[in-house]
Structures are given as structure tokens and as C-alpha cells.
Amino acid sequence: MNLLISLTALGVVAMFGGILKFRSMVMPLSVLGLIGASLLGVYAWNTNQSFLNDMMRMDNYAIAFSIVCMAGTLLTILFFHFFHSENEIHYAEAVALMLFAVAGCAVMVSFTNLLMLFLGIEILSLSLYVLAGLRKKDLLSNESSLKYFLMGAFSTGFLLFGIALLYGATGSFATTQIAYQLGIAGMNGMAAMGLLLLMIGLLFKVAAVPFQFWTPDVYQGAPTIVTAFMATVGKVAAFAAFLRLFQLCFAPSKEGYQLVIGTVAAITMLAGNIMAIYQSSTKRMLAYSSIAHAGYMLIAVMTLNASSNGSILFYSVAYTLASISSFLIVMVVQQNRNNDTADDFNGLGKTNPWIAFALAVSMLSLSGIPATAGFFGKFYVFSSAVSDGFIWVVAVAVISSFISIYYYFRPVIAAYSKQTHDPVMTMPAGTQALLILLSLLTILLGILPGFIAGII
């Protein structure tokens, strides 16, 4: 709870930083505040306390995912600070919105009542709608913001109708009561309908096929730094909430819907990876790749056993590290060469060897090559699915991973084997060091995966 209060207070401070003109203090304050909030989380580890009349519980699951989201936010804020120009008028407000969004993440990963799930999702989403439209005069940013808003509000309608039906069937919003009532009465028609609508709402939020159509446009149109934030922090929190809801409420009746989620996961992986091949813009390619990764993570939601929590946590960490650094590299390339097709990566290995190294590591991790974190992320998810007998889903997942190698390697091959006459790329100081740090963390987790996967 202290964690949540400090995050919200931090957001308010950052917002006043914009109004009262102490913008230069905003970045250091929010970085320190995020580190402090993470320490508060670590301090509350293993305490398992409930708050607000049992509406949220800060268990280890909630703390671990809150810390992952805060780390993602910290990185985004740092990079935003590096890349913002002096005439960026909404700098402090954007940081404040990111902090509010991460407060929403903390609510939605720690709920034990559906009201908190709804509020958390809305706090996160409302901040993201505004962030997507950060560039007010840029038509692409406008379009992305409106599409995200309309689709997000539409999916909230489904989520709420599902919650209402579930309330009608069980008479409570508390997850323990819902699980108890469903255990006594079984899934009746109203509860099953509620579960279906709730699932549709959440599948919209995590961008799984067939509810993924908004993702590429929104991710491409939003400012790249915001895209990095949405694709990592937003997605990780949505998945954590999805898994938590199913673990707390619907785990005993999982045979009834596993096939549905498995099919959605299989189609999502295949569609995301195949569509990604046809994209010329690397940013749009990464948007489709984030759809494919939603498919891989859905496998862990489908299996829903004791190891799901750990495997989805590891997957989230690996995905966040690799995604943030690849979006950042795309941003560097966009700024230097005004475009982000694979050809714009030509000769990067010669001109900027360290950036090319970070690009290679993050792409290897996203495609799941051994000795990177992405490999163990996929390994944990797939192995628990195999041990539960879902061979066909894992077969589809492995095939689509092979497809993904083709498009992930396109910029890497361009960087190392093609020539260019363009000058060395310039970027703000500190970017390169942070990118190298992210790559080293990815490799470290690929060699020593144990100390995150077994933590919850």
C-alpha cells in the first residue's frame, strides 16, 4: 500500500513540476521515487497484507509485477529525459502520466476484488490514451490516440458487462467469494457468459487475435517512447491482471475454457508473426511482434498451474528488457536517418558497433535464441504447457518462433553485412551506456535464469 501511495504522490509532484517550473528536478525526483517505491515493495515482501477491506492484497505476486512495471517505467522515463528536446512543452506532464499509469499497474496486479481490477485498468488506460496523443499537432499521434481511446473504452464495456453477469451469478465482487460460489454451484449459464465477456475485455487489452486490429496503428502512430511504454509496462500489467484473475477465480473450472484460450494463443502467435514479415517499418514490425508475444504469454495463462506465475514473470522481464531496447534503437535510427525500414540499419555494425550489439542481443532475445533471456522465457512457458499435455499449442508456438527469426534478423543482417555511406549516428549521452546495460542484463538472465523464475 505504501508503494501505491508513494507512486501516486510522485505523479502529483511531477505534475506540479510542470506547473511550478521546476522541470529539471522532475527526472531525478521520479527516478529516486521509483527506486524508493521498489524498495518499499521489497520491504513488504512475504508480508501478504490485505488493504482496503480486503479489496487488494500485496502478496509476492503483486509486488514482483509492480517492481517489473516500475523498472520499465524507470527506463522509459530515463530515455524520455535523454531524448526530449528543449521545446518539448509537455515534458513534466508526460512523466506524471507515466507515473499515474504505473500506479494503475500496481492496483491491477494486486486486486482481490473485481472493482479494483476495473479501477486499475482504467487508471492505466486513461493515462495511456493521453500519452498516445502527446504530440498535439502530429496527425499520426492524434489518430493513434483516438483509435486507442475508442477501442479501449469499447473493451471496457465488455469487461464491465462480464463483471456484472458474474456478480449476478455469484452475488459478490470479491475473488474469494466468486471462487467459493462457483465451486458450490458450478459454472451456470450466466457465470459462463460473464467469464466469456470478461475474457473478451481482457483479450482486447492484451491485444490477442481477433481483438488485435487496433494495435499496429496505435503503436506506430504514438511517439516511439510512448510505444515502448505501452508495449512493455501496459502489456505486462494486463497479463499479470489476466493471470491473477484466472488463478483467483476460475482455476478449478479451467478444463472448460483452456481450449478457447489455447486456440486464441495459437492463432495470435501465427497471425502476429506472419503479419510482421510483411512490414517495412521496423516500428510497425515490433508492434506485430508484440502481438505474437501476447500469444506466447497466453500459453502460460492457459496452462494455469503452479509454475504459470513464475514463468510469466520471467517472460515479462525478458520481454520488457528486449522490447525497450529495440524500440529505443528504432528511435535512434529514426532520428538519424528519418525512417526505420531495414535498409536504414545498413552499416550500423561499422558506424556504431555498440548500438548494433544491443540491437543484435535484443532481437536474439525476442526471437528466443539460447544464451539470451528470451530463450528461457519461452522455455519455461512451453515446458509447463508440455507437462500438462498441450503438445499441439507448443508445436504451433515453436513453428511460429522459427517464422519470427526471419523478420527479427532482417535489421541485424542489414547492420552487420551491408555497407553505408551515411555518417555515424549521434544520440544523447547516456543512451549507449543504458542500451549496453540492458543487453548485458538480457545475456545475464540467459545464462543464470534461476534467480527470477523461482521467486514467486
What is the contact surface with another protein in residues (CB under 8 A)? 115, 118-119, 122, 126, 129-130, 133, 136-137, 139-140, 142-147, 149-150, 153-154, 156-157, 160-161, 163-165, 167-168, 171-173, 190, 216-217, 220-221, 275, 278-281, 284
In whole angstroms, the minimum distance from the beta carbon of 335 to another protein comes to 20
- DSSP secondary-structure letter at 421? -
Shorter beta-carbon distance to another protein: residue 275 or 452: 275
Kindly tell me which of 6 and 144 has the beta carbon lying closer to another protein: 144
Provide the minimum distance between the beta carbon of 90 and another protein in the complex, in angstroms, as a whole number. Answer: 12
Whichever of 32 and 52 has its CB closer to another protein, that residue is 52
Using N-to-C axis directions, what is the helix angle for 91-109 and 2-19, rounded to 10°?
A: 170
Q: CA angle at residue 90 from 88 to 95, to 5 degrees? A: 110
H helices present in 207-307, as ranges: 215-221, 224-229, 235-245, 258-277, 282-303
Q: 126 or 455, CB closer to another protein?
A: 126
Shortest distance in whole angstroms from residue 332 CB to another protein: 22
Between CA 174 and CA 114 the distance in angstroms is: 6
For the bound state, the minimum distance from the C-beta of residue 281 to another protein, rounded and expressed in Å, comes to: 8
In angstroms, rounded to a whole number, what is the distance separating the alpha carbons of residues 368 and 350?
25
Question: Could you give the CA distance from residue 384 to residue 269 in angstroms, rounded to a whole number?
Answer: 18
Q: Which is nearer to another protein, 159 or 298 (CB)?
A: 159
Would you say 82 or 167 has its CB closer to another protein?
Answer: 167
Residues 108, 242: Cα–Cα separation, whole Å: 9
CA–CA separation, 437 and 361 (whole Å): 11
Q: Is the peptide bond preceding residue 210 cis, with omega within 30 degrees of 0?
A: yes
Residue closer to another protein by CB (options 271, 396) is: 271
Work out how close the CB of 47 gets to another protein at its nearest, in angstroms, rounded to a whole number: 27
Residue 324 · residue 359 · CB < 8 Å? no
Least distance to another protein from the beta carbon of 57, Å?
18
* Cβ-proximal residues to 173 (8 Å cutoff; 6+ apart), any chain: 113, 114, 115, 163, 167
Q: CB of residue 449 vs another protein: minimum separation in angstroms?
A: 35
DSSP state of 425: P
